[in-house]
A and B are shown apart, each in its own frame.
Chain A
Amino acid sequence: MNDLTLFPILHDHDHAHDQHEERQEEKARQPVDIGALRAKLAAGRGPAFWRTLDEAAETPELTEYVEQEFPGLSGQIPEGVDRRSLLKVMAASLAMAGAAACTKQPKELIVPYVRQPENVIPGLPLFYATAMTTNGYARGLLVESHLNRPTKVEGNPDHPASLGSTTIFEQASTLSLYDPDRSQTVMKEGRISNISEFTGALSSEAQSIAGRKGEGLAILTGATTSPTLIAQMNAITTQWPAAKWYVHEPGVNPAVKSAAKKIAGKNAFIAYDFSKADVVVSLESDFLNSGPAALVYARQFAAKRGIDKGQEPVRLYAIESSPSVSGSLADHHIAVKSSAIPAIAYQLAAKCGVSAPAAGAAIPWVAAIADDLQKHKGSSLVIPGEFQPESVHLVAYAINAALGNVGTTVKILEGVEPEGTHSLEDLANDLNGGHVETLLILAGNPVYAAPASLNFEAAIRKARMVVRLGQYFDETSRWSHWHVPEAHYLETWSDARAFDGTTTIMQPLIEPLYAGKSAHEILTILLAKPDNTSHDIVKANWQAGYKGGDFDALWKTSLHNGTVDGTAVPVITAGTVVPLPALGTSEANFEIVFRPDPTVADGTWANSGWLQELPKPQTKVTWENMVYVSTRDAEAQKLSEGDLVKVTVNGKSVTGPVFVLPGHAVGSATIFLGYGRTNSGHVGTGIGYNAYSIQDGATPYVAVGAMLKTGENVKLANTQEMQTMADREPVRAAEWTEYKEHPNFPTAEEPPVPHDDTLYPNQWTYQGYKWGMSIDLNVCTGCSVCAIACQAENNIAVVGKDQVTRGRHMHWIRIDRYYSGDLDTPQIYNQPVPCMQCENAPCEVVCPVAATVHSQEGINQMVYNRCVGTRYCSNNCPYKVRRFNFYLYSDWQTESMYGMRNPDVSVRSRGVMEKCSYCIQRIQEAKINTEKQGRRIRDGEILTACQQACPTQAITFGDLNDPHARVTKMQALKRNYGLLDDLNTRPRTTYLGYVRNSNEALRGQRG
């Protein structure tokens, strides 16, 4: 039972609560009859757009559940309380509330600097260019700093892998910096030690290693592109040739690199250019959301999907086992088993004129796709999936070469990752063979994140001295002799390269909070220079490699810009088509697909409350990893959402809750890595199942397995079950051909109410600024970075799984995911829903204390210090975008969290309503700055946090009174429509209808 109850005085009624809740949940959890639903949808009797199977089934009790604004609230109101007790509690609350207001303002101190640093002005943030690495590759960032506290991460528009956007992980990295669970001291064999003792121990170990010429020294790192780290490692392997370097990155498939090497003949990276692609075939690739160049691809792809200049949009065929973020934008989503992709790729290759080995019976739709590709020679693209075997990468290149795409949409770049490193499997073998005496683990968490088949926990114990550098005292630290706290990337110096080679010198924004060390500072001990700091090491490395004149100028310019000029790698023109290997074993009866979790990745981010609570793209479930299954398999095994299933691979099994995912391949279940942590911290420990524990190193991404129903059921914290739009056509979509004839398709049937159609004379005319937002459904991938950018910018609290289950998640922007069509291959739509800032706002008229009122610029303001928490506004909001602080969700106690907060936004307390403000703090800041300069705000000068982070630029914000503003032009497009426009709320945020460019030859068929 949750220890927070609405009426703490009435604790003895807790038992009654439980019973009531159970009753309620029983009622809500009637499993959906998938067969009946399928028949209903086939007959066209279902809703046009639906978000969950429950919603599509439209059963009366589910409708009732969904219609509650906050399901589960009634479960918290105690039953059987008599009137007298209730009045007593109410009177006491009222008196207490009144008394609580009678406080004298406490005395506050001003603590000025002794010597104020140059450029630091209290009240004005500074931005520093740096970069964060994901799987070794850099994404350039601009980090906002208030009085030397990093508070918000933004993309660096000048960085080639960011272009100003970020992914969810960069946004969440400020929380990981201030995470109170970070390891804070050096530990020796489980006892607190100190850094000088460690340095001494490693230095003397270095002497013995030197005596062995490096024999028995193993250094394990994550994937890296850091020139300084590579130089340090080279120095070590040069001085001690027998030392070995191992690289482990659980979220990276080594086949990508090995295939590129075969194609290019040397270390290479295969990059794509979507700005020239008209037809794209994805062979289970999530190219818009994962990989070092994802943000660039997303930007290019979105531009090609633009239809408003009249050009035909790019057509995407997504062939994948489970709908990915990229797949949700597909014009044709084709669900096949992951293991069937190589055969499909070979068939496609044969049809495109590549000599490919035989690949089974011909699949009809492959021919149609091949035809389409043939029609777009030189402007098409076949992308292999990140977790597909090498053969798929080779065949994809062969198809691209045959279609003349190499040089236009496909570019081979020189690789920037080091060569000649060994794998984790090699390390396990060397450990078990007794060849490793000293093991340095400088990144990753191999005891947790290694395939079970390696049994790394046993292997690591074979080493005599294990040194672990890590941000958390985690599973691996427990088996290490030494644990050294690692500096966060915002605390230390380093460098890293983007996929195209562009190098960023990463500068810190803050001194290490817990005296953490970087990998450079550990390696330098082995190089007998233990006192060198990261700054010394990185700078010396650049200085050594610099041939030009003024190094200081280069250093300063590079730090300022966030990129070092002239570091991009050249394009390799001579790629070869490698003969394709024969296909492996035939398809399994039932297969298990392993993937990094969409929000906590390989487990690195398990302790991030923001990422745990971020609804996962597609399922919109939080705080859990699930087993995704198709509706067919669910029907066969009589499974419904939340049913626990036992997933078995090679005799090992895990138990997790099922999510019935429309569009998932039949005969396959997708499970996710990154959960089931045992030593992650307060947030990430003990939730979900550990998929690594059944992973086999030989078949790490797809394996033969089985799935069995256990008969138990758990409630998933699914945010898509509440806040429904009640089937009022929230999404409007058309085919490209229809769109050409009826560009106004979203409003053709029901034109919006004209603004002068009112009884009230003298309407407010909005002189000055008139803020508005436009969201283009046609390019929204549902990646959810907007939600987390908003969370970081606006100090939005994390509420926990129990509260999410009750519909109390606090995100100011939710990303609804709708389906239409049938259950097997539905069309998918993503719709971000922030506050619509209605001109006729239903919330404003019902507030008894005028805590939500309209501004002169048309913003629906929420005044926290006036709000008394009646929740009438939320009740009356048709969009369900208001969020209420039922408890003290914001962490007011943990001191380390204070530094993270945006000082320009109030931290909300209990009993207060909150919602999207259009980033009012950014608007006010821009207004003050421009008023001082005596001019109007220019278009694009204010970016809302969601808009700024969006990789596809689906969100546009600006002044509707400016006829040249981008938002004005977007809202003037014919495919513009307002959500629930028929209610005459006059939303300021409007949507652009979705246009699908499907292939006529495939219409009506699968996909």
Chain B
Amino acid sequence: MAQLFRPSANSLAKIAIAGALILVCSTIGIAYVIDRGPWITDVGVAPVQPIYFSHKHHVKDDGIDCRYCHSSVENSASAGIPPTETCMSCHSQIWNNATVTEPIRQSWATGKSIEWTKVHDLPDYVYFNHSIHIAKGVGCSTCHGQINEMPWVYKVNTLYMNWCINCHRNPGAYLRPKSEVFNMDYQMPANQASLGAQLVKENHVQSLTDCATCHR
């Protein structure tokens, strides 16, 4: 009886098995890379906004505090996006003829809101509260990065749950003194471990990992 398979079939089988393994691994690998990559997470991607608004210019060059515009960050879940009126408080006086500030004047004149694209967008089933994080000594730049260096704002962190949980499990590793919360250039000191432990104690910081902390 003739052989069913020729000797080369052995090699084919080996290649097929190895190929299948590689295919499965690479599929998982590619999926992982895509999932963690900027196409899905938008990390490092600055969306086009209706106004060429530079945080770098306003924060670093002009020295405006975060809370001048994001005024409810210490009181509310939402940090607050400034109304057109806030922009006009300066730009009715300065750069009040510039092309770049035209959309502000348009909005002011027509009463139509400026529609910004959300950069840091959590899913709707996540209930994040800015004010408590500020109160416990989590700096703006810990999550948002050095906004003062960004002409166009982009995400520096994925905002994935495992990223949140990292801090919630061990908040001491990320906390800073309350006076430094709004300092955009703050660098963690060498003694962060001992400072963190001290801050956790002083500010009654809890490691909250209950689901209902964020999901309701």
Contacts of B84 in A (CB 8 A): 112-115
Q: Is the CB of B117 within 8 A of A113?
A: no
Shortest C-beta distance, B110 to chain A (Å), equals 8
Which of chain B's residues has its CB closest to A857's CB? B210
Shortest C-beta distance, A908 to chain B (Å), equals 10
Contacts of B107 in A (CB 8 A): 114
Give the size category of B's interface with A: 35 or more
Q: Is the CB of B136 within 8 A of A931?
A: yes
Contacts of A861 in B (CB 8 A): 210-212, 215
Which of chain A's residues has its CB closest to B214's CB? A924
Contacts of A917 in B (CB 8 A): 212, 216
Q: Is the CB of A104 within 8 A of B210?
A: no
With A853-B211, A855-B210, A863-B211 in contact, is A114–B111 under 8 Å at CB? Answer: yes
Shortest C-beta distance, A257 to chain B (Å), equals 48
Q: Is the CB of A114 within 8 A of B121?
A: no
With the chains together, A768 CA to B76 CA distance in Å?
24
Q: Is the CB of A115 within 8 A of B85?
A: yes
With A104-B40, A861-B212 in contact, is A114–B78 under 8 Å at CB? Answer: no
Shortest C-beta distance, A633 to chain B (Å), equals 49
Interface residues of B in 194-216 (CB under 8 A from A): 204, 206, 210-213, 215-216
Is B47 part of the contact surface with A, judged by Cβ < 8 Å?
Answer: yes
Task: Return the CB mask of A274-301 against B: 1 if under 8 Å, else 0.
Answer: 0000000000000000000000000000
Q: Is the CB of A856 within 8 A of B83?
A: no
Is B108 part of the contact surface with A, judged by Cβ < 8 Å?
Answer: yes
With the chains together, A124 CA to B73 CA distance in Å?
11
Is B145 part of the contact surface with A, judged by Cβ < 8 Å?
Answer: no
With the chains together, A114 CA to B86 CA distance in Å?
9
With the chains together, A928 CA to B76 CA distance in Å?
10
CB contact between A906 and one of B47, B116, B129, B216 (< 8 Å): that residue: B216
Which of chain A's residues has its CB closest to B81's CB? A112
Q: Is the CB of A121 within 8 A of B80?
A: yes
Is A82 part of the contact surface with B, judged by Cβ < 8 Å?
Answer: no
Which of chain A's residues has its CB closest to B112's CB? A114
Contacts of B125 in A (CB 8 A): 864-865, 906
Q: Is the CB of A115 within 8 A of B129?
A: no
Shortest C-beta distance, A816 to chain B (Å), equals 27
Q: Is the CB of B118 within 8 A of A107?
A: yes
Contacts of B112 in A (CB 8 A): 114
Q: What total of A-B pairs shows CB separation below 8 Å? A: 118
With A861-B210, A920-B216, A934-B204 in contact, is A110–B118 under 8 Å at CB? Answer: yes
Which of chain A's residues has its CB closest to B41's CB? A105
Interface residues of A in 840-859 (CB under 8 A from B): 853, 855-857, 859
Contacts of B85 in A (CB 8 A): 113-116
With the chains together, A857 CA to B210 CA distance in Å?
9
With the chains together, A917 CA to B210 CA distance in Å?
13
Task: Return the CB mask of A120-152 against B: 1 if under 8 Å, else 0.
Answer: 011110000000000000000000000000000
Is B156 part of the contact surface with A, judged by Cβ < 8 Å?
Answer: no
With A123-B77, A931-B204 in contact, is A112–B210 under 8 Å at CB? Answer: no
Task: Return the CB mask of B164-205 against A: 1 if under 8 Å, else 0.
Answer: 000000000000000000000000000000000000000010
With the chains together, A921 CA to B127 CA distance in Å?
9
Contacts of A109 in B (CB 8 A): 115-118
Q: Is the CB of A114 within 8 A of B118?
A: no
Contacts of B40 in A (CB 8 A): 104-105
Which of chain B's residues has its CB closest to A909's CB? B125
Task: Return the CB mask of A149-176 against B: 1 if under 8 Å, else 0.
Answer: 0000000000000000000000000000
Q: Is the CB of A122 within 8 A of B80?
A: yes
CB contact between A124 and one of B42, B75, B118, B215 (< 8 Å): that residue: B75
Task: Return the CB mask of B67-83 against A: 1 if under 8 Å, else 0.
Answer: 00000100111101111
With the chains together, A110 CA to B129 CA distance in Å?
17
Q: Is the CB of B212 within 8 A of A859?
A: yes
CB contact between A855 and one of B121, B132, B211 (< 8 Å): that residue: B211
Q: Is the CB of A108 within 8 A of B121?
A: yes
Is B62 part of the contact surface with A, judged by Cβ < 8 Å?
Answer: no
Is A932 part of the contact surface with B, judged by Cβ < 8 Å?
Answer: yes
Q: Is the CB of A904 within 8 A of B127?
A: yes
With A112-B116, A114-B84, A116-B83 in contact, is A105–B132 under 8 Å at CB? Answer: no
Q: Is the CB of A855 within 8 A of B212?
A: yes
Is B113 part of the contact surface with A, judged by Cβ < 8 Å?
Answer: yes
With the chains together, A857 CA to B127 CA distance in Å?
19
Is B101 part of the contact surface with A, judged by Cβ < 8 Å?
Answer: no
Task: Return the CB mask of A87-121 against B: 1 if under 8 Å, else 0.
Answer: 00000000000000000110111111111100001
Contacts of B118 in A (CB 8 A): 107-110
With A110-B116, A121-B72, A124-B75 in contact, is A931–B215 under 8 Å at CB? Answer: no
Contacts of A856 in B (CB 8 A): 210
Shortest C-beta distance, B113 to chain A (Å), equals 5
Shortest C-beta distance, B167 to chain A (Å), equals 16
Interface centre among A859, A917, A920 (most CB of B within 10 A): A920
Q: Is the CB of B204 within 8 A of A113?
A: no
With A865-B125, A931-B132 in contact, is A906–B113 under 8 Å at CB? Answer: no
Contacts of A107 in B (CB 8 A): 47, 117-118
Is B150 part of the contact surface with A, judged by Cβ < 8 Å?
Answer: no
Shortest C-beta distance, B124 to chain A (Å), equals 7
Q: Is the CB of B72 within 8 A of A122?
A: yes
Task: Return the CB mask of A303-347 against B: 1 if under 8 Å, else 0.
Answer: 000000000000000000000000000000000000000000000
Interface residues of B in 98-134 (CB under 8 A from A): 107-108, 111-118, 121, 123-125, 127, 129, 131-132
Contacts of A114 in B (CB 8 A): 83-85, 107-108, 111-113
Contacts of A888 in B (CB 8 A): none
Contacts of A513 in B (CB 8 A): none
With the chains together, A856 CA to B210 CA distance in Å?
7
CB contact between A904 and one of B82, B132, B216 (< 8 Å): that residue: B216
Which of chain A's residues has its CB closest to B71's CB? A121
Is A231 part of the contact surface with B, judged by Cβ < 8 Å?
Answer: no
Interface residues of A in 919-961 (CB under 8 A from B): 920-921, 924, 928, 931-932, 934
Shortest C-beta distance, B179 to chain A (Å), equals 17
Is B135 part of the contact surface with A, judged by Cβ < 8 Å?
Answer: yes
Which of chain B's residues has its CB closest to A768's CB? B206
With the chains together, A747 CA to B138 CA distance in Å?
50
Contacts of A865 in B (CB 8 A): 123, 125, 215
Shortest C-beta distance, A867 to chain B (Å), equals 11
With the chains together, A932 CA to B115 CA distance in Å?
32
CB contact between B115 and one of A110, A855, A857 (< 8 Å): that residue: A110
Is A905 part of the contact surface with B, judged by Cβ < 8 Å?
Answer: yes
Contacts of B81 in A (CB 8 A): 110, 112, 122
Shortest C-beta distance, B137 to chain A (Å), equals 12
Interface residues of A in 377-434 (CB under 8 A from B): none
Shortest C-beta distance, A961 to chain B (Å), equals 15
Q: Is the CB of B83 within 8 A of A113?
A: yes
Which of chain A's residues has its CB closest to B122's CB? A105
Which of chain B's residues has its CB closest to A866's CB? B211
CB contact between B72 and one of A124, A855, A866, A934 (< 8 Å): that residue: A124
With the chains together, A914 CA to B213 CA distance in Å?
17
Shortest C-beta distance, B141 to chain A (Å), equals 20
Shortest C-beta distance, A144 to chain B (Å), equals 15
A residues sitting closer than 8 Å to B (CB atoms) are 104-105, 107-116, 121-124, 768, 853, 855-857, 859, 861, 863-866, 904-906, 917, 920-921, 924, 928, 931-932, 934
16 A-B pairs whose Cβ atoms sit less than 8 Å apart in the complex: A110-B81, A110-B117, A114-B83, A115-B85, A123-B78, A124-B76, A768-B206, A861-B210, A863-B212, A864-B215, A866-B211, A917-B216, A920-B212, A931-B135, A931-B204, A934-B204
Q: Lowest 9 CB-CB distances: which A-B pairs, in order? A: A123-B76, A123-B78, A123-B77, A113-B83, A855-B210, A116-B83, A112-B81, A122-B78, A114-B84
20 additional A-B residue pairs with CB within 8 Å, beyond A109-B115, A113-B83, A863-B211:
A111-B113, A111-B115, A112-B116, A114-B83, A122-B78, A123-B76, A123-B78, A124-B72, A124-B75, A856-B210, A857-B210, A861-B211, A861-B212, A861-B215, A863-B212, A863-B215, A865-B215, A905-B216, A906-B124, A928-B132
